[in-house]
C-alpha cells in the first residue's frame, strides 16, 4: 500500500496503558534501507513504552473518539469554534496522530493545502501546535 511512496518496510508498536488503547507508532523505510535491526526494534518498543505512559497520564480512560458520546462532544466543539467541514476532517486526522503528509495522501490533496487547514484550525482554537490542539480537546477525549 505504501510502496508507491517509496515505503517498503514498516514496523508498528501499539500504545496502550491499563488496557486502554492510545494509538500506535509506526516506523517506515525504503527497500534499499533493508529491514529493521533488532536494535531499532528495541528502540521502538522503548519509545512506545514511554509514550504509552505519558499518553496514559494525559488520557487515563484511553482515546475513544469512535464512541458516539465522544463523537457528539467533538462535533459540538467543532461547531462552537466554527471549524469548517474539511478542517474538521483534518482535525480528526490530527487527533488520530496523522502527519501532514499522511493526511494529504489520505485526502488526495496537496500537503500545502493540509498546512493551510491546520493553520486555520490553530487560529480558530487559539493554539500554535498539535500539543495545543490536544490540550484544547483533552476534556472531549477523556
pLDDT tens, residue by residue, 65-75: 555 566 788 88
Q: What is the pTM of this model?
A: 0.54
What does pLDDT average to over the chain?
A: 84
Cα 64 to Cα 42, 71, 92, 136: the distances in Å are 28, 9, 12, 16
**pLDDT on residue 104:** 92
* 128 vs 138, more confident: 128
Q: For residue 122, what are the contacts with CB-CB under 8 A and spacing of at least 6?
A: 128, 129, 132, 133
The residue whose grid cell reads 508498536 is 13
Nearest to 75 by CA among 88, 62, 86: 88
**30: DSSP letter:** -
Q: pLDDT tens digits, residue range 75-93?
A: 889 999 999 999 999 998 9
Q: For residue 82, what are the contacts with CB-CB under 8 A and spacing of at least 6?
A: 124
Burial class of residue 73 (count of CB atoms within 10 Å of its CB; 0-12, 13-18, 19+): middle
Amino acid at each position: 500500500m505504501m510502496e508507491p511512496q517509496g515505503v517498503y518496510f514498516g514496523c508498528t508498536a501499539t500504545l496502550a496503558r491499563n488496557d486502554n488503547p492510545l494509538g500506535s507508532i509506526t516506523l517506515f523505510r525504503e527497500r534499499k534501507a533493508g529491514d529493521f535491526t533488532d536494535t531499532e526494534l528495541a528502540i521502538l518498543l522503548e519509545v512506545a513504552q514511554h509514550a504509552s505512559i505519558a499518553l496514559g497520564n494525559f488520557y487515563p480512560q484511553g482515546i475513544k473518539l469512535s464512541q458516539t458520546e465522544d463523537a457528539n462532544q467533538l462535533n459540538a466543539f467543532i461547531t462552537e469554534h466554527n471549524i469548517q467541514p474539511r478542517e474538521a476532517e483534518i482535525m480528526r486526522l490530527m487527533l488520530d496522530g496523522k502527519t501532514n503528509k499522511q493526511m494529504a495522501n489520505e485526502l488526495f490533496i496537496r500537503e500545502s493545502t493540509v498546512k493551510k487547514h491546520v493553520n486555520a484550525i490553530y487560529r480558530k482554537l487559539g493554539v500554535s501546535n498539535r500539543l495545543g490542539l490536544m490540550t484544547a480537546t483533552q476534556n472531549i477525549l477523556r
